[in-house]
Amino acid sequence: MKALLLENIHPAGIRLLTDRGYEVETLPSALGEDDLIAALDGVDLLGIRSNTMLTPQVFAAAPRLRAVGAFCIGTNQIALDEATRHGVAVFNAPYSNTRSVVELAIGEIIAMARHLTDHNARMHAGEWVKSAKGSHEIRGRSLGIVGYGNIGSQLSVVAESLGMRVLFYDIVDRLALGNARRMESLEELLSEAETISLHVDGRTANRGIWGEAEFSMMRPRSLFLNLSRGFVVDTDSLKRHLDSGHIAGAAIDVFPTEPKKNGPGFDNPLRGTPNVILTPHVAGSTEEAQENIGYFVANKLADYAENGSTVLSVNLPAVQAQRPGARRIMHLHRNVPGVLATINTILAEHGTNIEGQTLATRGQTGYVVLDIAGEVSDAVVAALKAMPEAVRVEVR
């Protein structure tokens, strides 16, 4: 089988797939829709990061595609409903770069509190300004975390270990870690926190949630970080509050519009603004995190292609399928009553003996893995594919 890996997937992922016998093609950048459709001809497994958009048209034009690996946390760049409708499994790496994001957030909080970017710029310009004015320790100061999931909660623990007072707000009821305090409303959080760090996910409902009203509610001379999603924040509003001095500093790693490849082409209103740290979507991009992600996602792709295992799939029912010595049938179907009975009837009518069977459902999708004693005839495969509920049927 053939795998196509885009956007500089870490060599650990390439090596794993190659060692397991896959033909692997790599490209350093994302592809537009037309180029991607052309590149997917003959491809079974696709690996991407955040800049490759998998539209409904891509899935419709790639019937051979079996699985997609998002070598990152988010999957909002993937039309998941269409992937499911075409029987394509999607995997991501929801925990592999958590520590990297947290460490960057802590480093940027300290850098802004100490005005390190300003000191650095002056020194490079040959100007010596030794002064404590405007520089503060983060110990004893309050950090407000918006979004208390995997990253937000770990940031909470690390910040508290450095002496910060941690407050958080989440629309989901989350258990506070350590001495962190859950706030009942965003307004309450903003009235107390001296630094705000956003760690929300990429769901559509989060688009534009942080704008003029939210910046206005923040405490004067507070710090602001966004290491979550670019479309969450109104950059023009942030610029106005930085220019007025209401916001003392900002660290931004994600942007509403990001270049598709490295090099010139980045433009944003925040460029050139004092005490603003701009980074090119690298919060999770450490060698350690990318190696972990590369190995983790590539292994999930290979396990699905070889064994039918869908554990931690974003869009398919979870089936832990350890491969015995038998042949395996993987049957993805619409989740309606009677499908499993029909499958078993077809196998019985053709004298096919089942050694093991696992069924799981998720919303409108059902997935059954069958381990078969002996060979699986072409007639069995044809009958299973002919079922009106069938989405994808494969035999290993």
* Residues 104/106/108/113 CA torsion (nearest 10 deg): -170
pLDDT of residue 262: 84
49, 99, 165, 229: the active-site residue: 229
Q: Which amino acid is at 235?
A: T
Secondary-structure class of domain 1-96+288-315 per CATH: alpha beta
Helix (H/G/I), strand (E/B), else coil: 3: strand
According to the model, what pLDDT value does residue 373 have? Answer: 87
Per the residue annotation, which of 25, 103, 258, 389 is the catalytic one? 258
Give pLDDT, residue 3: 98
Q: What tens digit of pLDDT does each residue of 342-381 get?
A: 999 999 999 999 988 999 999 999 999 999 988 999 999 9
Neighbours of 356 (CB within 10 A): 14
Given the structure tokens 């269409």, which residue do they identify? 82
Fold of 98-278: Rossmann fold (3.40.50)
At 134-171, the pLDDT tens digits run 999 999 999 999 999 999 999 999 999 999 999 999 99
Structure tokens at 239: 């610029």
R_g of the chain computed on alpha carbons: 25
Domain pair 1-96+288-315 / 98-278, same fold: yes
Please indicate whether residue 229 is annotated as part of the active site: yes
Confidence at residue 166, expressed as pLDDT on a 0 to 100 scale = 98
| Alpha-carbon distances of 295 from 23, 77, 92, 241, 285, rounded to whole Å | 17, 21, 11, 42, 15
394 vs 396: CA distance, rounded Å: 7
Q: What is the pLDDT of residue 95?
A: 86
All residue ranges of the chain with pLDDT < 50 are none
The model's pTM: 0.81
Cα–Cα distance, 311 to 89 (Å, whole number): 10
Domain ranges of the chain: 1-96+288-315, 98-278, 317-396
Catalytically annotated residue among 199, 281, 328, 333: 281
Task: Supply the pLDDT for residue 189.
Answer: 98
The pLDDT, as a whole number, for residue 227 is 97
- Look up the CATH number of domain 317-396: 3.30.70.260
